[in-house]
Amino acid sequence: MKIVLIGAGNLATNLGKALLAAGHDIVQVFSRTVESATALAQIAGGAPVTDIEQVRADADLYIVSVKDSVLGELLPRLCKGKETKIFLHTAGSMDMNVFEGMAIHYGVFYPMQTFSKSKEVNFSEIPCFIEANDDYAHTVIADMAHELSGRVYELSSADRKYLHLAAVFACNFVNHCYAISEKILADHGVPFDVMLPLIDETAKKVHELSPKEAQTGPAVRFDENVIRMQAALLKDQPQIKDIYERLSLGIHRFSKK
């Protein structure tokens, strides 16, 4: 397929590589900045373009991977003159119907993973959630999804919103806990890599036990001496102290359910 990538961020970069490896022809890469468009075009192929009006109309598929908040402004200008083509976006929280009235065939391809430009991922293991508004779009999107990943699921826009929310907890909030941990260690001269075996085991554990069964530490033991003392260590960092207290209470409450 001839594909145009709209957006050149972390997800678009990793998806572009995977599409190229699957034998597709990336004909253009759009980004608001010439640097980003050029960087991804050099990796995935195609011509960089920064003016949405310059996006060519003869591709088969347009894949939109941009910040959700700019979609509303971008889509009418993108779809214009390409109404019979297939459009999809890759956002967890955006409804499929964002394309309604602008295109005939459209859908969603949401690869649930944390992507960074500098970190290679194995796309074939990523759970991908697809949705389409008609059979034609569905066939094209499902075929592409199965080429890229061994784990393809159908999911409605309504349920995908909750999936994305669950992913924010399991990934972004987890990573923020790592970041706070790193900061506390750095403040006391301890390198972050001493924490990696614990981080790995915590992730590995929930392959075998449910997170509720896997929980350990002062909050689930309700070891109030330790909880009070640890909160006091954070007295000069009230926002982190606040997170400490709310998560400790949350663990205690979950354990009693």
Q: Which of 221, 225, 192, 238 is nearest to 246 (CA)?
A: 238
* 23 contributes a contact to a copy of itself by CB under 8 A: no
Cα–Cα distance measured from residue 12 to residue 28, given in angstroms and rounded to the nearest whole number: 12
Q: Which residue of 84, 167, 238, 256 would you call a contact of a copy of itself, by CB under 8 A?
A: 167
* 154 contributes a contact to a copy of itself by CB under 8 A: no
Phi and psi at residue 115, to the nearest 5°: -110, 130
Cα–Cα distance measured from residue 150 to residue 55, given in angstroms and rounded to the nearest whole number: 31
* 184 contributes a contact to a copy of itself by CB under 8 A: yes
Residue 57 or 168 with smaller CB distance to a copy of itself: 168
Total of chain residues touching a copy of itself, rule CB under 8 A: 96
Q: Is 152 helix (H, G, I), strand (E, B) or coil?
A: strand
DSSP 189: T
Nearest distance in Å: CB 127, a copy of itself: 5
* 146 contributes a contact to a copy of itself by CB under 8 A: no
* 93 contributes a contact to a copy of itself by CB under 8 A: yes
Site for a copy of itself in 48-67 (CB under 8 A): 67
Nearest distance in Å: CB 23, a copy of itself: 24
Q: Which residue of 5, 103, 112, 137 would you call a contact of a copy of itself, by CB under 8 A?
A: 112
- The total of other beta-carbon atoms located within 10 Å of residue 21's CB is 13
Site for a copy of itself in 196-235 (CB under 8 A): 196-203, 205-221, 223-226, 229-230, 233-234
Cα–Cα distance measured from residue 131 to residue 88, given in angstroms and rounded to the nearest whole number: 9
Instruction: Give the interface segment with a copy of itself, choosing from 22-30, 31-39, 56-64, 172-180 (CB under 8 A).
Output: 172-180
Nearest distance in Å: CB 243, a copy of itself: 6
Cα–Cα distance measured from residue 103 to residue 28, given in angstroms and rounded to the nearest whole number: 19
How many H-runs (helices) and E-runs (strands) does the chain carry? 11, 8
